[in-house]
Structure 1
Amino acid sequence: MPSAIYPALFFTVAMLVNTGYFLLGGLPLLILRHDEPLDARFVRGFFNVYYQAAFWVALGAAVSYALWGRWAFAVGAAVLAATATLLRRRLLPVMLHLGSRIEAGHAGAVQQFRRIHATALLLNLVQLVVAVWGLIVLSKDLSN
């Protein structure tokens, strides 16, 4: 077994832990009323940290899988890194805008912010399912 398996395993576990941690940490934040500017800033900062961490661990996994010669997994991890970047660039500015609308007292801004928050968590769950599925496929591949 090549030594590249160890960093690939490390980064894969880091992806799972990171995604699971932020999924479980983001769920309780849905109970916030989001009517305070601090709520919106906190949730936005929470997702900013998640997307940055998700990018780096997925990039590490992609490089590790490529060095191991598991190209399908390298591409899959690279797609997860790109997805984290895309979501960070798309969702965080919307959250910032909605946070300023909440602060200004615009009707409906709180509901829109909660919807974006829930969508981000749902996408986080999808990423977790994809990573777990990849591990199951990889474990079957290694046993053959």
Structure 2
Amino acid sequence: MDIFNTYIPEGFQTVSSYLFVSDPIQEISFLKNAFHAEELNRTSMPNGDVANCILKIGNSCFMISQARGEFEGMRTSFYLFVNDVDRMYQHALDNGAESVLEPADMSYEDRQAGVKDPAGNYWWISKRLVQKPYN
């Protein structure tokens, strides 16, 4: 569709995640430590709150902002592809994540683990065990 034929900054996709969290400083620190996120840009409000922070994990960019009003308490879930599920799972736990699923081979041919970050978002850490699409 022509409507999607537009400039998209490197690292972003047509649909990109945007997190609203109650403590963005804590979340940014967690993501840097647990998932090796790289901070690309941060804009702060006059009172010091995070207006917008762009982070990159692997080849994917996303944004984080201070939750206010109707955006407080929002939660989301991410599917994070890595080459060593067990190592990334343990690294996330070591940096403050809570386990929701220990690493295991799944019937849909992924090795997968799950953690919850300090803001309550879920991260499904996965490696495709076969080189074929999901059916």
Question: TM-score, normalised to structure 2's length?
Answer: 0.27
Higher RCO structure, 1 or 2 (CA under 8 Å, sep 6+): 1
Higher strand share: 2
Decide which structure has greater helix share.
1
The higher radius of gyration belongs to: 1
